[in-house]
Amino acid sequence: MRMMFKKKKTPKTYDKEKVKPVIRSSICTGEKVAGFLDIHTGAFEDIMLIKNDSDLKSFMELYGIEQSPEKIY
Protein backbone atom coordinates (compact mmCIF):
# COMPACT_ATOMS: atom_id res chain seq x y z
CA MET A 1 0.00 0.00 0.00
CA ARG A 2 1.39 3.40 -1.03
CA MET A 3 0.94 6.29 1.31
CA MET A 4 0.80 9.76 -0.10
CA PHE A 5 2.41 12.54 1.84
CA LYS A 6 2.01 16.18 1.01
CA LYS A 7 5.23 17.96 0.41
CA LYS A 8 5.66 20.85 2.80
CA LYS A 9 5.20 24.05 0.85
CA THR A 10 7.74 26.77 1.39
CA PRO A 11 6.37 30.27 0.87
CA LYS A 12 7.36 32.03 -2.32
CA THR A 13 9.11 35.32 -1.80
CA TYR A 14 8.44 38.81 -3.06
CA ASP A 15 10.36 42.07 -2.66
CA LYS A 16 8.59 43.86 0.19
CA GLU A 17 10.59 47.03 -0.57
CA LYS A 18 9.19 47.28 -4.12
CA VAL A 19 5.75 45.64 -4.12
CA LYS A 20 2.84 45.06 -1.79
CA PRO A 21 0.14 42.36 -1.94
CA VAL A 22 -3.30 43.63 -2.95
CA ILE A 23 -6.67 42.36 -4.15
CA ARG A 24 -7.85 44.17 -7.29
CA SER A 25 -11.64 44.16 -7.44
CA SER A 26 -13.71 45.19 -10.46
CA ILE A 27 -16.42 47.72 -9.68
CA CYS A 28 -18.60 46.45 -12.56
CA THR A 29 -18.32 42.67 -12.31
CA GLY A 30 -17.04 42.15 -8.78
CA GLU A 31 -14.22 39.92 -10.10
CA LYS A 32 -11.29 39.77 -7.69
CA VAL A 33 -7.67 39.14 -8.60
CA ALA A 34 -4.83 38.73 -6.12
CA GLY A 35 -1.46 40.13 -7.04
CA PHE A 36 1.24 42.64 -6.28
CA LEU A 37 1.22 46.40 -6.75
CA ASP A 38 4.54 48.09 -7.53
CA ILE A 39 4.91 50.83 -4.92
CA HIS A 40 6.94 53.09 -7.21
CA THR A 41 5.21 52.73 -10.59
CA GLY A 42 1.70 51.62 -9.61
CA ALA A 43 1.91 48.65 -11.99
CA PHE A 44 -0.19 45.64 -10.98
CA GLU A 45 1.03 42.07 -11.49
CA ASP A 46 -1.84 39.60 -11.26
CA ILE A 47 -1.13 36.24 -9.67
CA MET A 48 -4.44 34.43 -9.27
CA LEU A 49 -8.20 34.78 -9.56
CA ILE A 50 -10.00 34.91 -6.21
CA LYS A 51 -13.36 33.14 -6.36
CA ASN A 52 -13.85 32.48 -2.66
CA ASP A 53 -12.22 32.70 0.78
CA SER A 54 -10.19 29.53 0.27
CA ASP A 55 -8.56 31.04 -2.85
CA LEU A 56 -7.57 34.10 -0.81
CA LYS A 57 -6.22 31.85 1.95
CA SER A 58 -4.19 29.89 -0.62
CA PHE A 59 -2.68 33.11 -2.02
CA MET A 60 -1.75 34.31 1.45
CA GLU A 61 -0.18 30.95 2.40
CA LEU A 62 1.68 30.71 -0.92
CA TYR A 63 3.47 34.02 -0.29
CA GLY A 64 3.59 33.95 3.51
CA ILE A 65 1.25 36.94 3.88
CA GLU A 66 -0.11 37.32 7.40
CA GLN A 67 -2.52 40.28 7.08
CA SER A 68 -5.40 40.38 4.63
CA PRO A 69 -4.24 42.31 1.53
CA GLU A 70 -5.57 45.80 0.79
CA LYS A 71 -8.37 46.01 -1.78
CA ILE A 72 -7.96 48.33 -4.75
CA TYR A 73 -10.55 49.20 -7.40
What range defines the domain where residue 28 resides? Answer: 19-72
> Residue 51: inside a domain, yes or no?
yes
pLDDT number for residue 11: 74
pLDDT number for residue 12: 87
The total number of structural domains in the chain stands at 1
> Residue 14: inside a domain, yes or no?
no
Whether the model clears a pTM of 0.85, i.e. scores above it, the answer is: no
> Residue 49: inside a domain, yes or no?
yes
Are the C-beta atoms of residues 55 and 5 closer than 8 Å to each other? no
Q: Which of 25, 67, 32 is nearest to 48 (CA)?
A: 32
pLDDT in tens, 18-73: 999 999 999 999 999 999 999 999 999 999 999 999 999 999 999 999 999 999 99
